[in-house]
Structure 1
Amino acid sequence: MDAHILTQYGLDQNITMKEAIEAFVESLAFQKKSRETIRGYRLSLLDANRYFSERMNGPIRCRDITLHQHIQPYFTHLFQERKLQVASAKRYVSAMRSFFRFLEIQDVVGKDPTARLQLPRVRKTEREHLTQDEFYLFVSCIDIPIVRYIALVQALAGLRVSEAIQLTLDDVDFDGQCIRVRHGKGDKARTVPINEELMSALQDYLMHHRPATQSLLFFATKRTGTISIAYINLVLERATKQAGIDKHVTSHILRHSYASWLVKQNVNIVHIQKVLGHESVRTTSGYMHVYQDDLQEAISNVRFLPEKGVASDE
C-alpha cells in the first residue's frame, strides 16, 4: 500500500470508524483492488463497527479502538457465538489489518492495534477436489448448458468462476489455443493455454448453445446477458446430488481439481502457479495432494535394504 496514495485523505483524528471505512474503501478502489475484495472488506469492517458501537452504546472513534477491549473480543465473538470457522476468518482478519495500516499511515492511530492479534490455530487440511472420473460423471449431470461449459473452463483451464463469467468473445483465442484473462485477482492479466478437448467443447458451445444476443460476453444469457455465481453454484449443487458424489462441490472446487490433476501429471509447480494466477508459489503448494495409490506405488518400488535382506543374528 503506497503511502503517497493514502496520505491524500487528511482524515481527522477524531473520525469515527464508520466514516473511516468509507475513506478506506475509496483507497482500495484507487489501488484497483477487485470488486469482490472491496465488497468483502467493507462488509467485514461494517460488521465489526456494529459490534464495537453496540458495546460502546454509540459511535466509536478509530483512535479509541484497542486490541484487548475491542478487537480480540470481536474475534472471540465470531468464533464462539457465531461459530465462524478459523479458516473462514481470513477475510475479517485481512480487512481489519489493512484498515488499521491505512489509519496508521493517516496518523489517525498511533499504533496498529491488530499487530498482536492472536487467533486459534487451525490444522491445515488438503483442499477438496474431484478425481477425473468424478468430474466427468459430475459434468454429465449438469442440466444447464451454459453452466456445464463454465464448469469445463474451470476444470480444464483453472479459471476462477468470476474470471470465467467475465470472458468476452475476443478473450478466447482458438487460433492461439489460449484464454486471455484480462481482469484476474488484483486486476492482473494472464494467458492460459488450453488443450484440444476444451477447445472442441467451447466451439460446440458457440455453435449450438450460445444464444443470439448483443452481449460481447462469451458466456452470455438471452434474458439478462450475464449469469450470476450464486446461480452457477445452485446448479452445481443439484448436479452433485444427481451424480451421487459425497463432496461439497462448488465452482471453486473445480479450479482446485484442475490444479490437483496438473500436480498428478508432474507439471512443474511454477508453471501451475502461472496458469492459476497466484502471486506466490506458496499458495500453489496448497494443491500438492499426496495421492494414496501413487504413494503406495512409490514406496513399493523403493529398496531400503540390501538384496540379502535384514541381517540375522546367525
Structure 2
Amino acid sequence: MPNFSGAKTDERLVELWLARRAPSTRRKYAEDLAKFRDFTENEPLAAVTLSDLYDFAGFISVLMAPSSQGRVLATIKSLLSFANKVGYLPFNVGAAVELPKIKDTLSERILTEAEAHRLMNAPRNARDRALLSVLYAGALRREEAVRLKWRDLKDRDDLGGGVGQATLFGKGSKTGIALLPASVYSQVLALRKVSEGTADGKAERYAAEDEPVFRSRKRRNGLGGHLEVSQVNRIVAKAAKDAGMDRPISPHWLRHAHASHAHARKTDLALIRDTLRHSSIATTGRYLHARPNDSSALHLGL
C-alpha cells in the first residue's frame, strides 16, 4: 500500500495526526503519546509490536485508574490506526488491543504518601517497620522480601552515603535488583545484630551471610527461619489497623503506592518500569542490571 501521508518520519506523521484537533486535545494526546514513547524508549512506530502494547497496558495499570488507562490506550490506538489508513504503516497492530472495561477501583487501592508513611511507622518492632519500608521503597513483592539473605545486600556508597542494593530472587529463576534509600537501608542493617539465649544468658552476634534478613520468630533448631508470605500479610494488615486505616490493605498496595508516588513526583516512566521489574516477553535487556545507578526508589519522599 502506498504511503499517502507523505510523512517520512514518525514526528511528521504525528503532526499530521494532530493537525485538525483542538489545541487542548493536541496537548493531551501529545502527553499520552509521550508516556508510550518513554516506555518503549522512542522505538520507531514501524517496530512497535503487540507485545509492546500489552506490556505498556500492564505497566500503566499500576499507575492509573482504568478510565485514564483507557484514554491513553485509545490515543495510541488512534495514532496507529491513522498511520495504517494513510499507508505509513502496513498494518494496524493496535486493532488487537482492547480498552479496559473493569470497575474503576484502582484509586481505592492507592495509598497517599501520608498514608504510606503512617503504615510504615505503625509497627512497634524494628523488623516489621523495616519490612514495610523495604516493600514500599524497593517496590518488592512479598516473595522477594521474605527470600532476602544478608549476602543479597551490599552498600552502594557511589550513589551517596548510606544507599544500599538488594539482589532479589522471585518465583522460578527470575532475578532482580532493588536500590534502597539510606533511610530504609539503615533500618535493614540494624536487624543484623541478633540476640540469642546461651547458658550464661543473652548473647549478641551479627547474623551470618546465609541467614534471613527478615527472621521469623518461629524457632527452628534454635534459630528463626525466613518469614512466610502469610506472615507478611498479617504484618501489613495489623499495621494498617494500628494506623487507623479501615481498608483491607495488602502488601501489594505498597508496590502500587511506590509506582503512583514516583509518577506523581515526575519520575521518568522508563525508570519506574525498570524499578518495578515488570516481566516482559519483549525484554530489551535493560530491565535487569547487575549494578543500576538510578531507581525510582531514590525519587520518593524517604
TM-score by length of 2: 0.47
Bigger Rg, which one: 1
Q: Which has the higher contact order (CA 8 A, sep 6+)?
A: 2
Identify, as 1 or 2, the structure richer in helix: 1
Identify, as 1 or 2, the structure richer in strand: 2
TM-score by length of 1: 0.46
